[in-house]
């Protein structure tokens, strides 16, 4: 399989890319740093794996579009939307969106839309959106998506992770009857730069290499077609997300389309 992993230059994305390459999948390492991408590709190739890099800074929707253009005619079986940030201070992108919202939701939303036609041609296509248990504390602030009135990192992060869950549900509805399966995955607490930025120190947090097996089984394993749109907890089991509100998911989809002009 050919797997595109966003944010594969560190943390969960990097560990996942290495694990996938080790079992023979071809990986496309997405990152925003040319040097970090090159290092990852070199590491994987040194271990006999097949990898190449794709650059795009997700704080620019123009760069997301350019990357999707470059990939449009290439074979991709699995897209893992993993890149993510936690911001302790509000910062807006060149597109006018709060950084957490753009990196964690709008950029993967846009990338997915642009790659969807190619993915739908594959017999076993999958789109995996890395969410978080934090989605349970999230609310979509339709009236102030950038949280300009009252920014805090937790609210911004949980809003974006709820968006990952709702996006997955709506994507599953819209691709029903196709070859595509899509899931939201909570990888659990993993010791990464992102976790360090949150200031939380959850007991039982694991190193990325320790936990990849669990959720890669979701990515690669046989799944029931009825489960598309589902949410996997860190133990690798399907579980109930905080909501299955179809109207909310459709409203988010429509706002995301207009924000990304897709």
- Give Cβ neighbours of residue 123 (< 8 Å, ≥ 6 apart): 179
For 130, the 3-state DSSP assignment is strand
Residue closest to ligand NAP (Cβ): 11
**Structure token pair of residue 16:** 């996942």
Q: In this structure, are residues 105 and 167 in contact, taking their beta carbons and an 8 Å threshold?
A: yes
Residue 7 interacts with ligand NAP (CB under 6 A): yes or no: yes
Query: Is 183 a residue of the active site?
Result: no
- Give Cβ neighbours of residue 82 (< 8 Å, ≥ 6 apart): 5, 6, 7, 8, 12, 13, 16, 128, 130
Footprint (CB under 6 A) of ligand NAP, residues 10-49? 10-13, 31-33, 36
Footprint (CB under 6 A) of ligand NAP, residues 122-161? 130, 132
Q: Which is nearer to ligand NAP, 10 or 248 (CB)?
A: 10
Q: Which is nearer to ligand NAP, 55 or 250 (CB)?
A: 55
Residue 108 interacts with ligand NAP (CB under 6 A): yes or no: no
Q: How far apart are CA 46 and CA 21, in angstroms?
A: 11
Judged by CB under 6 A, the number of residues near ligand NAP is 28
Active-site entry in 101, 109, 157, 167: 157
DSSP letters spanning 173-217 = HHTTTSS-EEEEE----B-SHHHHHHT---TT-B-HHHHHHHHHH
Residue 241 interacts with ligand NAP (CB under 6 A): yes or no: no
Q: Which is nearer to ligand NAP, 124 or 239 (CB)?
A: 239
49, 138, 153, 187: which one binds ligand NAP (CB under 6 A):
187
The continuous run of DSSP H or E covering 5 comes out as strand 2-5
Question: Which residues carry out catalysis?
Answer: 157
Q: Which residues bind ligand NAP (CB under 6 A)?
A: 7, 9-13, 31-33, 36, 57-59, 82-85, 103, 130, 132, 186-187, 189-190, 192-195
């Amino acid at each position: 399989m050919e797997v595109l992993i966003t944010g594969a230059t560190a943390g969960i994305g990097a560990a996942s890319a290495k694990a996938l390459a080790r079992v023979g999948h071809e990986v496309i390492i997405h990152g925003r740093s040319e040097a970090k991408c090159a290092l990852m590709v070199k590491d994987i190739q040194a271990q006999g794996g097949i990898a190449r890099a794709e650059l795009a800074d997700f704080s620019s929707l123009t760069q997301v579009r350019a990357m999707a253009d470059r990939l449009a005619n290439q074979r991709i079986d699995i897209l893992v939307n993993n890149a993510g940030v936690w911001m302790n201070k509000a910062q807006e992108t060149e597109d006018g969106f709060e950084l957490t919202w753009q990196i964690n939701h709008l950029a993967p939303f846009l990338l997915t839309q642009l790659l969807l036609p190619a993915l739908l041609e594959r017999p076993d296509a999958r789109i995996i959106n890395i969410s978080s248990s934090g989605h349970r504390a999230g609310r979509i602030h339709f009236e102030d998506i950038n949280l300009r009135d009252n920014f805090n990192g937790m609210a911004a992060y949980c809003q974006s992770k709820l968006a990952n869950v709702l996006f997955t549900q709506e994507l599953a509805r819209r691709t029903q009857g196709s070859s595509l399966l899509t899931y939201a995955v909570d990888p659990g607490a993993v010791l990464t730069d992102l976790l360090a930025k949150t200031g939380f120190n959850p007991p039982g947090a694991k190193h990325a290499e320790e936990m990849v097996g669990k959720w890669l089984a979701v990515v690669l394993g046989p799944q029931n077609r009825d489960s598309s749109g589902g949410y996997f907890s860190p133990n690798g089991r399907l579980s109930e997300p905080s909501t299955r509100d179809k109207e909310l998911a459709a409203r988010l989809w429509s706002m995301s389309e207009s924000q990304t002009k897709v």
